[in-house]
Amino acid sequence: MTDYVRPAFAETVFSPRASDPDLGDDPSYADPETYRPVAAVAQALVEHVAREYDVVVDAPLEVPSVHARWLPEPVSRIVRISPVHPGEVTVWIVIGTEPGVVGVAAGAFSSFAFPFCSCQLCDEPWQHVADGLEEVVLALARDGVRETVEAGRRGRAEWALSRSSHAWSGRTPTRGVRRAELRRWEDALAGLPDGRWAGWTPRRHDG
């Protein structure tokens, strides 16, 4: 298997704006254009997994509704990465119209947002956002994701990656989720070992 390599980009130029009253007198936060390279990183990841894993890549018009509420809006492009083998994870990579805003959805309800926070105070460098995106997508490719559902008035849905340098995980209350949707989650996870969707099977390269 060939290792993933991030595309090379020219040095990003930071453009100060006028001072924001909520930030005091410091105008030195980054322009949203700073994150534009992240979309190119997402495309490079799609090309890598399509080449190295036994998956099918297509471009659906929408993502399942359970994922849609956590993903960028409005949307510029959706990529779905579907496994060939049963029990492996399906992943959606959703690129927003705002430069560099990317969402990753996986399994029955897992979701990851990049950048995690794009507020002016955080001012996260695009390289850190790209690091996280790469780590999540490559971890899903190798190891999949574990999901669990707890029903009831205080029920919740939880997800977590394994073998990553950060604790990539999340949870959301199941209150408000339709019973039919909860049953679909429970049925899907019941057939998986410990609720874990597997990563993808590496593609065989002859010669």
Instruction: For 126-140, write each residue's pLDDT tens digit.
Output: 899 999 999 999 999
Q: How confident is the model at residue 146 (pLDDT cuts 50, 70, 90)?
A: very high
d(CA 85, CA 122): 40
Looking at residue 34, its pLDDT comes to: 79
Half-sphere exposure of 70 (CA within 13 A, CB side): 19
pTM to 2 decimal places: 0.86
Per the prediction, the chain carries an average pLDDT of: 85
Q: What are 70-94's pLDDT values in tens digits?
A: 777 888 999 999 999 999 999 999 9
Is the per-residue pLDDT at 25 higher than 50?
no
Q: Pick the more confident residue, 87 or 20.
A: 87
Alpha helices in the chain (DSSP H): 36-52, 65-68, 126-143, 179-190
> Could you tell me the two tokens for 66?
């359970």
Is the peptide bond between 74 and the residue preceding it cis, with omega within 30 degrees of 0? yes
d(CA 63, CA 54): 21
